[in-house]
Amino acid sequence: MILVKGYAAQNAKSPLAPFNFQRREPGPTDVQIDILYCGVCHSDLHQIRDEWGGSIFPMVPGHEIVGKVSKVGSEVKNFKIGDMVGVGCLVDSCRSCSNCKADLEQFCEVHSVATYNSLEMDRKTPTYGGYSNQIVVDEKFTLKVSDKLKLEGVAPLLCAGITTYSPLRHWKVGKGHKVAVVGLGGLGHMAVKFAASFGAEVTVLSTTASKEKDAKKLGAHHFVVTKDEGQIKKVKESFDFILNTISAQHDYNFFLNLLRVNGTMVLVGVPPEAVPVRAFSLIGGRRSLAGSLIGGLKETQEMLDYCATHNITSEIEIIPIKEIENAYVRMVKGDVRYRFVIDMATL
């Protein structure tokens, strides 16, 4: 077994603290990775506080991992020692169901293994995430990272990036489309970058007027303050596609009515309670309300390659691991532009 250092929550009320644990020795198809950077996702906080239920403790969060390969198994074909690689939200799946065969491992019909707060395929062994100095992952769930990009800016692409890239690609958003992004946070800022890069006309919908300058810098063409009735009136029934990144409680109907006929709003944020949707918000314009998770491994690699070609990374603030609790406080307040990334050399 490999001795690993990390940070863990012992229960839903305890702060993260140093935690030593063990990982398996690399098997024939495994890659051992020295973790260099790990992004901080809002879902990390939800899970360590057991806000979604079913949390497994002790918990080592982190599923936006970038690092360097330190060892490979005897049958590994696609990686060698010294390669820069990434690990996202998944580390295994059944690989044989219809969804896995369709490169949709995130929707595995048997059991998709999350990078942390999950159980391996044996349904017994807990997974521990990237707030640690090493991880061992099967090569099929390991991603190639280009040396063209700054590694620290790549880390959030493994969750925030693919979470926004996947629905934009699935709904074929591009030139000629009017797209709105609801919220300009960790997810929203990546949605703006991708949608603009794909050629869409992008509007940011936000309650915070002070974010307009950032929105335009990230690639948005327009900015609408949702508290301003006059501004909202001008964009009513105008968007082909809305990507809603908000995880706070809010009114879906308000945004559905900004869609034109046949428009679609896709949810990637997760409010804490069920949100009522009025039938007329949908049937009045044959509108659609949909949801999206992350992407499969093939699409995530496609996203990383696209980012390397178009020089796209996340806007980040690097922190030492000892500042993680303060980072959570700031994240809840929206006091980050736009993603915290832990420098794991500080562990």
% of the chain beyond a pLDDT of 90: 96
Tell me, what's the pLDDT at 272?
Answer: 84
% of the chain beyond a pLDDT of 70: 100
d(CA 86, CA 136): 12
| Amino acid code (one letter) for 64 | E
235's tokens = 């964009």
Query: What average pLDDT does range 60-70 have in this prediction?
Result: 98
DSSP-derived secondary structure letter, 182: E
d(CA 197, CA 240): 17
Q: pLDDT for 83-135, tens place per residue?
A: 999 999 999 999 999 999 999 999 999 999 999 999 999 999 999 999 999 99
CA distances from 72 to 30, 115, 246 (A): 6, 19, 40
Based on C-alpha coordinates, what's the Rg of the chain? 20
d(CA 345, CA 321): 9
**List of domains in the chain:** 2-157+315-346 (3.90.180.10), 161-291 (3.40.50.720)
d(CA 114, CA 106): 9
Query: What average pLDDT does range 15-32 have in this prediction?
Result: 98
CA distances from 131 to 23, 245, 282, 342 (A): 14, 24, 42, 8
d(CA 172, CA 174): 6
String of DSSP letters for 65-131: EEEEEEEE-TT--S--TT-EEEE-SEEE--S-SHHHHTT-GGG-SS--EESSSSB-TTSSSBP--SS
Q: What distance, in Å, lies between the first and last C-alpha atoms of the chain?
A: 20
288's tokens = 């659609």
3-state SS assignment for residue 8: strand
Res 64 pLDDT > 90: yes
Q: pLDDT for 277-289, tens place per residue?
A: 999 999 999 999 9
Tell me, what's the pLDDT at 49?
Answer: 95
Res 222 pLDDT > 90: yes
**Pairing mode, if any, of strands 201-206 and 84-87?**
unpaired
pLDDT band of residue 334 (cuts 50, 70, 90) is: confident
Sign of CA dihedral 177, 159, 340, 79: negative
Q: pLDDT for 166-213, tens place per residue?
A: 999 999 999 999 999 999 999 999 999 999 999 999 999 999 999 999
Tell me, what's the pLDDT at 175?
Answer: 98
Displacement of CA 7 from its chain's centroid (Å): 20
